[in-house]
Amino acid sequence: MMNPKLDTQVLECLRQQQVPHRLLLQQEAAVTIEAVAILRGIRPAQMVKCVLLRDMSERYALACVPGHLSVDPKKVRSYLGWRRMTCATSEQVLQVTGYPVGAVPPLRLKTNMPILFDPEISQQSEITISSGDLHAGIAMQVKDLLKLVQPAILSIHREPSAC
């Protein structure tokens, strides 16, 4: 059941920075893009999907694409100049980001790492990110998110499912 007094590091950050946003509460936890979109009454293209990638030297990067697209680890690896990259395990996601799979936002990560945004994210004026809690998302203007995160912006998506 959802917590009416939900408060996360991400919400705290948005309040501190005085960033306009709306909390999108869900009746149940969901981790797939499709399930979350239905629960929040939004389209997958409005969601920012954050995928934690790691290379063979245990370096991490957060790759963010619209919810209806998949991350291409080869494009991320090429940009960073790192060795082969794969999706992190559920345990690594929690340990490195501080958030469970399905609730990773591009803000207030436990570990400092490169954050990459696909330019397709900017196709929507309002987007949603995870709140850091599986029961809620946050709707906000994409320009505000870009200002807060200051990610590297490059095409990192591929059409076939990757991660």
**Residue 2's pLDDT is what?**
44
Specify the pLDDT at position 3: 47
Distance in angstroms (rounded) separating the CA atoms of residues 132 and 102: 9
HSE-up (13 A, CA, CB side) for residue 135: 10
Task: Give the integer Cα–Cα distance in Å for 85 and 24.
Answer: 33
pLDDT tens across the length of the chain (163 residues): 344 467 899 999 999 999 999 999 888 888 788 989 998 899 999 999 999 999 999 999 999 999 999 999 999 999 999 989 999 999 999 999 999 999 999 999 999 999 999 999 999 999 999 999 999 999 999 999 999 999 999 999 986 554 5
Check residue 163 and give its pLDDT: 56
Q: How many Cα atoms sit within 13 Å of 58 on the Cβ side?
A: 4
pLDDT the model gives residue 30: 81
pLDDT at res. 6: 76
How far separated are the first and last CA of the chain, in Å rounded?
Answer: 28
Give the separation between CA 161 and CA 20, rounded to whole angstroms.
33
Which long-range contacts link 141-147 to residues 24+ away (Cβ below 8 Å)? 141/20, 144/19, 144/20, 144/21, 145/48, 145/106, 146/117, 146/122
Q: Of 127, 55, 67, give the one whose Cα is nearest residue 96.
A: 55
Single-letter code of the amino acid located at 39:
L
- 23, 131 contact by CB (below 8 A): yes
The domains located in the chain, with CATH, are: 21-153 (3.90.960.10)
